Amino acid sequence: MGFLNYMRVLLTGASGGIGQELAKELIRRGYEVIGVGRNEKALKELGIKYIVVDLSTYEGISKVRESLKGEIDVLINNAGFGLVKPLLEHSWEELEGMFKVNAIAPVILTKELLDFIPEGGKVVFIISGASHVYTLDLPGYGASKVALHYMAKVLEEELKERGIKVLRVYPKQVATDFWKGAKLRGALSPEYVARKIVNAIESDKRELFIPWYLKLAKFFEIKYRFSFEKEFKPQ
């Protein structure tokens, strides 16, 4: 059974990757999970309540608010996406899309759902180790996560006045469908990351680096390129 102060969870990006494993881990621990995502088939297979929306639009965020019934104890802002390509090859639409989903949507969704989060509740932001490391293969993604890191730190102060706590999570690369089947060296399993995140929620942590030594990147200017066991060919 989960930590009793946090029993009803709204989880964005629940239809795949870290989000899917987070949903499974939360269910295993006795939480009620409401999943948010675009893939209805995947959400339905989890056997949870769900809301199908596109969080890159304000209309999608409004639909979450309108569909939500009753309070939630935890909001997990997990939805996000990235593109593996040099920054100069990103289009306006690609950069705009990443910043909308990765940085703007989590903040606006949090704002829109404040009426549903009681004092003592928690908001979780799944950010990225890329917010502290120059990931040369994911520059647009990394930049959007830097923006989310900054805003999550500010929200931590603003939400404190409402009695709502914030947890910021910074995982390194994770082996998910994002990599299109390519095996990424050093990638963490999404199951492991999900367990660490739920443990951090239950132990009331304010920040979580996965693995812990990523925290050291805050003190150094590190540039990083991913390494694959075979060539990565984005679709």
Known catalytic residues are 141, 145
Q: Cβ contacts of residue 199 below 8 Å, gap of 6+?
A: none
Cis status of the peptide bond prior to 211, with omega within 30 of 0: yes
The amino acid occupying position 69 is: K
**Spatial CA neighbour of 94 closest among 60, 141, 131:** 141
The strand pairing partners of 168, in sequence order, are 125, 207
Angstrom distance (rounded) from CA 150 to CA 99: 13
Q: At what angle do helices 105-112 and 58-67 cross, to 10 degrees?
A: 30
Q: How far apart are CA 190 and CA 22, in angstroms?
A: 8
Residue spans of alpha helices (H) in the chain: 17-28, 40-45, 58-67, 92-99, 105-112, 139-160, 190-202
Measured CA to CA, the distance from residue 45 to residue 37 in angstroms comes to 13
